[in-house]
Amino acid sequence: MDFLKNLSISSKNQGSSTGFEWFTTSALLTSISPVDGQRIADVQITDKQNYEQIITKASEAFLVWRKIPAPKRGDIIRQMGNAFRTKKEDLGKLVSWEMGKSLQEGMGEIQEIIDVCDFAVGLSRQLYGLTMHSERPNHRMYEQWHPLGIVGIITAFNFPAAVWGWNAALALVCGNVCVWKGSEKTPLTAIACQKIIGEVIKYNKLPEGISCLISGDKEVGYWITQDTRIPLVSATGSTRMGKEIGKVVAARLGRSLLELGGNNAIIVTPSADLKLAVIGAVFGATGTTGQRCTTTRRIIVHQSIYEQFKKDLINSYQQLVVGNPLENGVHVGPLIDNQAVNLYKDALIQIKKEKGIFIVEGEVLSIKNYESGFYVKPCIVEAHRGMKITQTETFVPILYLLKYDHLEEAIEIQNSVPQGLSSAIMTTNMKEMELFLSVAGSDCGIANVNMGTSGAEIGGAFGGEKETGGGRESGSDAWKAYMRRQTCSINFGNDMPLAQGIKFDL
C-alpha cells in the first residue's frame, strides 16, 4: 500500500495537530477498511488537555491570520490547493480504501478540495459589502464583513475529505481559523489532509494554529459544540446529530451551519429521455453504495412509462458489479461497517412488513478474497405511499419506485418527506420543468433537471431545507455564513442629525 507510505500514515498515528505540530495521547481508535474488514492503522484520540492546547494555539493564530489581507490569504489557499493536486491520486486511494467509495469517486473528492481552493482564491478579492444611501445629510453607510474567529468543523464518514475542504477553504479565506473533527470511521483521511495542509502552513511560516485537527467520536465533537470560544460550528452528518448539536450550540447562542440527511427523489415524466433517466437513477441510487447525502432514494414515475422504465432499470441493475472499489470495472463498493450492514438487513425486513415488493432482491454479499468486507446488493422496491420507511433516510443502496398520474401529485409525493436536500426531474417538456422549479415545485435546496440528485458542483451553494438543516456551504455567497456583518455609518458633517428625524436639542 504505497499510498499509505506516500501520505506518511503509519500503523499508529497521532490524531491531534495544530498545523504541523502533533500531540501524543494514549487512547486509540482503529481505522478499519470496509473493503476487507481489516485494520488499516490506529489513531490516538484527542484528550481534553490537548484539546485545550489546540484551542489556545488556534485563538493565537486567529489574531495574526485575520490581519493578513484577504488576497494574501487567497495566495496561501492557492498553495494548499496545489499541494492537494500533487497528492490527488494517493489521497483518492486512501479515501477509497478507508471509506469504500470507488477510486474515481475518491479522487473526485480530492478534486473538490482543489476546486474549492480555486474558488476561495477568487473569493479572496470579492468579499464584498454593500454601500447604502443614508437618510441623513453628510452621512455615508456601508456594510463590511469580518471573520468570526475559530470555526469548528465536524464531518461525516461518507465525504471524509471534501466536506472539510469546502468548509476550511471558505473559513480560511474569510480570515477564520479552523478546528476539524473528522469522522471516527475515517480518521486516517483526516490525518493525511492535515499533513498536507500543515506543510503549507510551515513553508509560509504562518502561525501553526490556523488549521487544526482533533480525532475521536462524538464526545470529542461535543467539546467543540459547547465551547464558547468557537463562534461557528459547521456540522455535517445525520439529522439525529444535527438536532443534538443544534440544541447545544443554540443554548450558548453560537451559530451552527448544519448539513444533514437527505431523502432525495427523481420524478420521471412521460416526456423524459428514458436513457438519461435510467443512468441518473442508477448512479444516483448506487453511487457511493447509497451513502451520499444526495443519494437517490425514491423515483416517482408517470404511470404511462412506468413498466418500460422499470424494465430498463432492472436491466441496468443486473449489470452492476459489486466489489473492491479500487479495482477497475467495479461500480459499487462496500458499506462503511457492520452496523451499516445491519441497518440494511433491518430495512429489508421492514420493507417486507410494510408490503413493499422487491423487483431487484437485496442480500448481504460475500466477495471473493474480501469475505470480511461489508458488501450488500443494491436493490429496488416497488413501494406505496403508505410505507413509513420511505420517509426515512436509510443510508444504504435501497431504491423505492413509486407511480404517479399528475405532475402536481408527483411533486407532492416528492415533498412529503421530512428532509429537503436534493431533487430532480427528467423531462423534455418546458412546462413540466418550470412547474418543478417554481414556488409550487420542489421544496429542496437542490433542484436538477435531466440529471440525477447527486454530484453537485462546488460553484453553487450546497445544502437543504427542513430536516436537512438549512445550512449552505461551498459556492455562491455561502461565504457569508463564515463572517460577521457590520453596518458602518459615518458622519462627515458638522451637525448630528438623528435617524427618523428625531429631535434631541440640548
- Cβ 30 to ligand NAD, closest distance in Å? 15
- Cβ 219 to ligand NAD, closest distance in Å? 8
Q: How far apart are CA 185 and CA 21, in angstroms?
A: 23
- Cβ 151 to ligand NAD, closest distance in Å? 15
To the query of whether residue 293 is one of the catalytic residues in this protein, the response is yes
Region class of 450: left (phi > 0), else alpha (psi between -120 and 50), else beta = left
Those residues with Cβ within 8 angstroms of residue 502's Cβ, 6 or more apart along the chain or in another chain: none
- Cβ 186 to ligand NAD, closest distance in Å? 8
Q: Which is nearer to ligand NAD, 92 or 471 (CB)?
A: 471
Q: Which is nearer to ligand NAD, 202 or 247 (CB)?
A: 247
Helix, strand and coil in the chain, % to nearest 5: 40, 25, 35
The string of DSSP codes covering 161-222 is THHHHHHHHHHHHTT-EEEEE--TTSHHHHHHHHHHHHHHHHHTT--GGGEEEE--SHHHHH
Q: Which is nearer to ligand NAD, 79 or 225 (CB)?
A: 225
Which phi and psi angles does 452 have, rounded to 5°?
Answer: -75, -170
With H, G, I as helix, E, B as strand and everything else as coil, classify residue 277: helix
Q: How far apart are CA 495 and CA 491, in angstroms?
A: 8
Q: How far apart are CA 162 and CA 153, in angstroms?
A: 12
Residue with cell 466489489: 323
Catalytic residue among 117, 193, 212, 293: 293
- Cβ 468 to ligand NAD, closest distance in Å? 6
Give exposure, 364-390, as e/b (b: 16+ Cβ within 10 Å).
Answer: ebebeebeebbbbbbbbbebeeebebb
Q: Which is nearer to ligand NAD, 13 or 225 (CB)?
A: 225
Those residues with Cβ within 8 angstroms of residue 159's Cβ, 6 or more apart along the chain or in another chain: 109, 236
Q: Which is nearer to ligand NAD, 158 or 423 (CB)?
A: 158
CA terminus-to-terminus distance, the chain: 80
Catalytic residue among 259, 393, 432, 473: 259
To the query of whether residue 259 is one of the catalytic residues in this protein, the response is yes
Question: At CA 138, angle to CA 136 and CA 142, rounded to 5?
Answer: 75
Contact 51, 17 (CB under 8 A): no
Q: How far apart are CA 329 and CA 477, in angstroms?
A: 39
Contact 74, 121 (CB under 8 A): yes
Contact 206, 19 (CB under 8 A): yes
Q: How far apart are CA 57 and CA 54, in angstroms?
A: 5
Contact 10, 191 (CB under 8 A): no
Residue nearest to ligand NAD (CB): 221
Q: Which is nearer to ligand NAD, 111 or 144 (CB)?
A: 111
Q: Which is nearer to ligand NAD, 3 or 159 (CB)?
A: 159
Which residues of the shown chain bind ligand NAD in the complex (CB under 6 A)? Answer: 154-159, 163, 181, 183-184, 217-218, 221-222, 225, 236-238, 241, 244-245, 259-262, 293, 393, 395, 421, 464, 468
The grid coordinates of residue 470 equal 438549512
Q: Which is nearer to ligand NAD, 301 or 421 (CB)?
A: 421
The grid coordinates of residue 130 equal 454593500
Q: Which residues pair with 152 in a beta bridge?
A: 179, 233
Q: Which is nearer to ligand NAD, 156 or 200 (CB)?
A: 156
What is residue 335's DSSP assignment? -
With H, G, I as helix, E, B as strand and everything else as coil, classify residue 54: helix
- For the annotated catalytic residues, the residue numbers are 259, 293
